[in-house]
C-alpha cells in the first residue's frame, strides 16, 4: 500500500442504500471504510437518508445535506460514492445539481434495476393484502433501524422504495436522469458528463460455498445466495441482489470482484473472502479520484 497521503480535492460522501444508516451504537454501515479513508488522508462524511423511499426523495435529502455540509466546511463540491440504492440517490443529486458534485461512483448499484426487486414486486399484487402486510413489516423494520440510528424524523415508504428498484422503475428513472449510462447492455458509459465524473465497480458470487472461505458462515452471504436463485437474465453473474451488467455506469473499474452485495461495504463486520479486501478498494478508488484532480 502506498503511504502517500490521498488528499482528494473534494470530500468523499458515502451514500447508503436501502435499510441503510450511518451508525448504530458502535456499528457503522460502511464497516471500517470511513476510518481507512480518513487514515489515508480523505475528508469523509456519511449522510443520513430515509432507509426506505424512492430515489428522488432520497436524492433531495442528499442535496440538502450536501448544501449543509458545504456551508459548514467551505468545500464547493463533493465526491459521491453510493452503495446499492445509494448509487441511484447519488446519480439524482449529480443530475439535478452538477455544480455541487465532482464525481459519482456506483458500488453494486442497480443502475438498470434489480431482478430480485422485480420478483418481489410480481409476488405482491398492488393494493392487495400481501402488499399491505409486506409494507407494514418492512416499514416496521426500517423504523426499528431508524430508531436505533436516531433518524425517526425521516419519511419512509417501503412500497415506493421497492418500485424504485425494479427494472421498470429504474428504466423510468434512467429516462429522466441518463447521465453516465452505457449506450449498450454490458458496456461502459461516458466518464464525464456535465462536469461530473462517473465510475462504477461491483462484484459477483463465486460458483460454490467452498470458494468463499469464512464468508460461507456469514448469514447475510447465505441469504444473498438464496436471492441469487431468483435471477434469470444475469443468473450466472450477480452479487445476490444486483446483476453484473446492471451495475455498469460511467467508467467501469471492474464488475466481477469476488464480492457479494454486502461484502462491498465490508459486512457482516468484515466477514468476507480472504482474497479480497473491500476496504482497500475504497482507498484505491480515492487514489483514482486524487489522480483525477477530484
Which positions ≥6 away from 92 have C-beta within 8 Å? 55, 56, 58, 59, 60, 62, 173, 177
Number of structural domains the chain divides into = 1
Active site residues: 84, 239, 261
Is residue 6 in a domain? no
Is residue 48 in a domain? yes
pLDDT digit of tens for each residue in the chain (294 aa)?
Answer: 456 788 999 999 999 987 654 443 444 678 899 999 999 999 999 998 988 789 999 999 999 999 999 999 999 999 999 999 999 999 999 999 999 999 999 999 999 999 988 888 887 766 655 666 565 545 544 443 444 444 556 777 778 888 899 999 999 999 999 999 999 999 999 999 999 999 999 999 987 665 666 666 677 778 888 888 889 999 989 998 899 999 999 999 999 999 988 889 987 655 666 678 999 999 999 999 999 999
**Entry pTM:** 0.88
What range does the domain containing 61 cover?
A: 12-291
Question: Which domain CATH number covers 19?
Answer: 3.40.50.1820
Amino acid at each position: 500500500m502506498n503511504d502517500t497521503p490521498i488528499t482528494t480535492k473534494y470530500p468523499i460522501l458515502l451514500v447508503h442504500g436501502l435499510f441503510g444508516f450511518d451508525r448504530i451504537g458502535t456499528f457503522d454501515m460502511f464497516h471500517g471504510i470511513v476510518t481507512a479513508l480518513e487514515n489515508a488522508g480523505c475528508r469523509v462524511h456519511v449522510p443520513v437518508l430515509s432507509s426506505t423511499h424512492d430515489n428522488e426523495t432520497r436524492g433531495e435529502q442528499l442535496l440538502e445535506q450536501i448544501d449543509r455540509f458545504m456551508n459548514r466546511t467551505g468545500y464547493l463540491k463533493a465526491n459521491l460514492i453510493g452503495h446499492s440504492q445509494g448509487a441511484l440517490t447519488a446519480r439524482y443529486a449529480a443530475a439535478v445539481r452538477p455544480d455541487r458534485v465532482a464525481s459519482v461512483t456506483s458500488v453494486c448499484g442497480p443502475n438498470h434495476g434489480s431482478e430480485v426487486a422485480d420478483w418481489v414486486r410480481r409476488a405482491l399484487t398492488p393494493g392487495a393484502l400481501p402488499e399491505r402486510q409486506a409494507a407494514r413489516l418492512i416499514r416496521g423494520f426500517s423504523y426499528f433501524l431508524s430508531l436505533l440510528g436516531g433518524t425517526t424524523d425521516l419519511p419512509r415508504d417501503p412500497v415506493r422504495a421497492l418500485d424504485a428498484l425494479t427494472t421498470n422503475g429504474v428504466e423510468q428513472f434512467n429516462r429522466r436522469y441518463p447521465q453516465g449510462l452505457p449506450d449498450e447492455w454490458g458496456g461502459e458509459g461516458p466518464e464525464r458528463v456535465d462536469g461530473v465524473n462517473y465510475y462504477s465497480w461491483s462484484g459477483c458470487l463465486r460458483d460454490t460455498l467452498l470458494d468463499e472461505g469464512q464468508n460461507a458462515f456469514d448469514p447475510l452471504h447465505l441469504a444473498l445466495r438464496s436471492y441469487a436463485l431468483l435471477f434469470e437474465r444475469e443468473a450466472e453473474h450477480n452479487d445476490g441482489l444486483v446483476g453484473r451488467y446492471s451495475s455498469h455506469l460511467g467508467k467501469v473499474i471492474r464488475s466481477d470482484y469476488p464480492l457479494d452485495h454486502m461484502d462491498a461495504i465490508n459486512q457482516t463486520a468484515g466477514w468476507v473472502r480472504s482474497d479480497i479486501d473491500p476496504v482497500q478498494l475504497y482507498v484505491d478508488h480515492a487514489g483514482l479520484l486524487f489522480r483525477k484532480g477530484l
